Structures are given as C-alpha cells and as structure tokens.
Amino acid sequence: MKKNVYFGTEIKTDFHFLTIEMKILFVFAHPEQQSFNGALKDTAISTLTEEGHEVLVSDLYQLNWSIQLSRENFTELKDPNYFNAEKEQNDLKFQKTILKEMEKVKEAELIIFQFPFWWFSMPGILKSWIDIVFASNFAYGGKKGYFENAGLVGKKALISITTGAPKNFFTEKGRNGNILLSLYPILFGIFNFTGMDSYLPSIWYGPGLLDDEGRKEYLTLWGERLKNLKSEKFIDFQKSSSYLGNDLQLKEGLKTNFEILSQY
C-alpha cells in the first residue's frame, strides 16, 4: 500500500497503465482561467505533454458551451411531434459541435475532469456537456449496453476538484459528510455506468484558505500523481455478476457500492 497524499487515504498499487503517447481528454469547467482550477489545468497539460502524451482539451467556458438537451441538438428528428431525448440520441444525428466533442471522447484513453465542487456536485455547464455528449447508443444503452457492456469500456476516468471548505469538513463525522459519497453519482452513476474505470479523485481542499506555498505544494503533488498514475488501481465497484434475479439484487455477503466507496 502507498500513501495517497491527494486524498488522504491508502491506495493499492498495480502497474497497468499509461502507455507512451496516449491520448488524454482534459475537460475543464471553471469560468476563470487564473483560478486555482486553471492552475491545476495548466499543470496537468504541461505534465502530461512532457510525459509524451497527446492532450485534447475541452474548456467548456472557452467553448461557450451553452447547449441544453433539446431538439436543437439534432440535424433531424425521428419524431418531430414528441421529443424523446433517448430515442433521438440513438440515431446519433447530432449537430457538428456535439459530434466534435464525442469524437474527442472516442479518441481518448483517459478522461480527466477538472472542476470546482459546487453544491456538492459538478457545475451545471459540465452536467450539460455530459447529458449531451455521453449520449444513448454512444456512451451507454441503445446497441451498447450498460456497465461492463457500455460504450466507454476500456477508458479511464479521473476527477480533480477543489472545495471551499477544509478537509475536516468532508469526513464521515464532519459537517459536510464523506465527500466520496457526494461524488458517488459521478464515480458510479456516470463513469461505472458507461463502462469506464475510475481512479480515486484528486481532491484539493480549501485552496483559497492556503498561502502561495500551500497552493504550490498542491500543484507539485498533482503533477507527481499524474506521472505515477500507472501505479494506482481503480475503484473496485461490484460487477454485474454480483447481482442475482430479474430484480438484480446483490448477492449475500457482498459489500454494496456505497460501502466499497466508503472504505477508501
């Protein structure tokens, strides 16, 4: 076991990942380039590039991403009289802006999401991007399936977030509760559901409460983690084979995914 200084827990190590010249998609969702989120973005891009990887970037505010899930996402509609988003997505007849983002996802082996932890979740602009780009019959469902059979199987996901409050606020007994459980809808509900393997998140607690040296140390740790990501194992959520019956109930004696996440 090796100490994970980015999250403050223990992580298992197993060399399995980060080949030379890998394609990585970096999705950035913060309105200010000079913010600490911006510094984390710049550190990631420079570090990964120096390591020999090709980094694709989706800077959502720079893209002026204002697309909502609607009829306007598509070049033509299967049913113009009644809008069923999932059925329309299955035909993949999207506007060019959306197809371009989907192509980035398709090319990437690793997707890194950088965002501030607002309202115990991701910013709305990032949720909109996922709603549309992680479409049915592309990321999941349709002809693709779910979980181990979903459209993004073989890809890896990593989130890097900042909080306003210090770390002790986000413990099991802290006022805000275990932060990993707040991230469950992302780590399990988005990444695992679409077939991606997820690393433990990098959580940068209260950078606004630190001095310059403290923030520089965070950036150094971030760069070091990205260089050594190959030594980490993924979050070990239950597989579909762990569930029985038509109502897919967990086998006796196995940990729930919440329990699995809580142990990290």
CB within 8 A of 160, min separation 6: which ones?
40, 44, 112, 113, 114, 115, 201, 202, 203, 204, 222
Residue scoring higher pLDDT (132 or 7) = 132
- The pLDDT value recorded for residue 95 is 97
Q: Is the pLDDT of residue 4 over 60?
A: no
Q: Is the pLDDT of residue 19 over 70?
A: no
Q: Is the pLDDT of residue 111 over 90?
A: yes
Name residue 113's beta-bridge partners. 27, 159
Phi, psi of 5 (to 5 degrees): -70, -15
56 with 107: CB under 8 angstroms?
A: yes
Question: Residue 223: enclosing H or E segment and its boundaries?
Answer: helix 212-227
Model confidence over 64-81: pLDDT tens digits?
A: 999 999 999 999 999 999
> Sign of torsion, CA 154 102 157 244?
negative
Q: Is the pLDDT of residue 121 over 80?
A: yes
**Confidence category of residue 143, pLDDT binned at 50, 70, 90:** confident
Q: Is the pLDDT of residue 149 over 60?
A: yes
Q: Which domains does the chain possess?
A: 2-262 (3.40.50.360)
pTM to 2 decimals? 0.90
- The pLDDT value recorded for residue 20 is 60
- How far is residue 157's CA from residue 108's CA, in Å, rounded to a whole number? 10
